[in-house]
Amino acid sequence: MIKEKIQQLAADIFEEVVALRRHIHAHPELSFKEFETSAFIQQKLTSWGIPFEVMANTGVVGLLKGDLPSDQVIALRADMDALPIVEANEVPYKSKNEGVMHACGHDVHSASLLGTAYILSKLKAEFAGTIKFIFQPGEELLPGGASILIKEGVLENPKPSHILGQHVMPLIESGKVGFRSGIYMASTDELYVTVTGKGGHGAQPHQNIDPVLIASHIIIALQQIVSRNADPRIPTVLSFGKVMAMGATNIIPNEVKLEGTLRTLDEDWRAEAKRLMKKMAEGIAESMGGSCEFRIEKGYPFLINEPVLTAQSRADAEVYLGKENVVDLDIWMAAEDFAYYSQVTDACFYRLGTGNAAKGTTHSVHTPKFNIDEDALKISTGLMAYLAVKQLGN
Q: CATH number of the domain that 284 lies in?
A: 3.30.70.360
Q: Which of 241, 271, 298 is the last residue of a domain?
A: 298
Residue 164 and residue 310 share a domain:
yes
- Residues 169, 217, single domain; the answer is no
Q: What is the mean pLDDT of the chain?
A: 97
Shared domain for 61 and 136, answered yes or no, is yes
pLDDT tens profile 162-174: 999 999 999 999 9
Residue 256 lies in domain: 187-298
Residues listed for the chain: 394
pLDDT tier at 89 (50, 70, 90 boundaries)?
very high
Residue 81, pLDDT score: 98
Q: 279, 298, 317: which is the final residue of a domain?
A: 298
Active-site annotation holds for 300: yes
Q: The CATH number of the domain where 344 resides is what?
A: 3.40.630.10
Cα distance between residue 246 and residue 253, in whole Å: 6
Position 237 confidence tier, pLDDT thresholds 50, 70, 90: very high
234 and 254 share one domain: yes
Which of 272, 298, 324 represents a domain boundary (last residue)?
298
Query: What is the predicted pLDDT for the residue at 1?
Result: 85
Residue pair 349/180 in contact (Cβ under 8 Å)? The answer is: no
- Average pLDDT score over residue span 190-201: 98
Assess whether 74 and 134 both reside in one domain: yes
Q: What is the pLDDT of residue 393?
A: 83
- pLDDT(329) > 80: yes
pLDDT digit string (tens) for 354-378? Answer: 999 999 999 999 999 999 999 999 9
Residue 256 has pLDDT above 80, yes or no: yes
pLDDT tens, 292-316? 999 999 999 999 999 999 999 999 9
Q: Are 362 and 239 within one domain?
A: no
Asked if pLDDT for residue 394 goes beyond 90, the answer is: no
Query: What confidence score (pLDDT) does residue 193 get?
Result: 98
* Residue of 29, 320, 374, 386 marked active site: 374
Report residue 326's pLDDT band, with 50, 70 and 90 as the boundaries: very high
CA–CA dist 100, 167 (Å, integer): 19
Q: Is 192 a catalytic residue?
A: no
How many structural domains compose the chain? 2
* Alpha-carbon torsion (329, 331, 335, 338), positive or negative: positive
Q: What is the pLDDT of residue 292?
A: 98
pLDDT for position 285: 98
Residue 202 has pLDDT above 80, yes or no: yes
Asked if 9 and 99 sit in the same domain, the reply is: yes
Q: Kindly tell me if the per-residue pLDDT of 340 is higher than 90.
A: yes
Identify the active-site residue in 93, 118, 300, 341: 300
Beta bridge partners of 124: none
Q: Please indicate, yes or no, whether residues 193 and 253 belong to a single structural domain of this protein.
A: yes
Q: Is 213 found in the same domain as 172?
A: no
Q: Report the pLDDT averaged over residues 122-142.
A: 96
Q: Do residue 374 and residue 332 come from a single domain?
A: yes
In terms of domains, do 127 and 267 share one? no
Q: Do 174 and 310 fall within a single domain?
A: yes
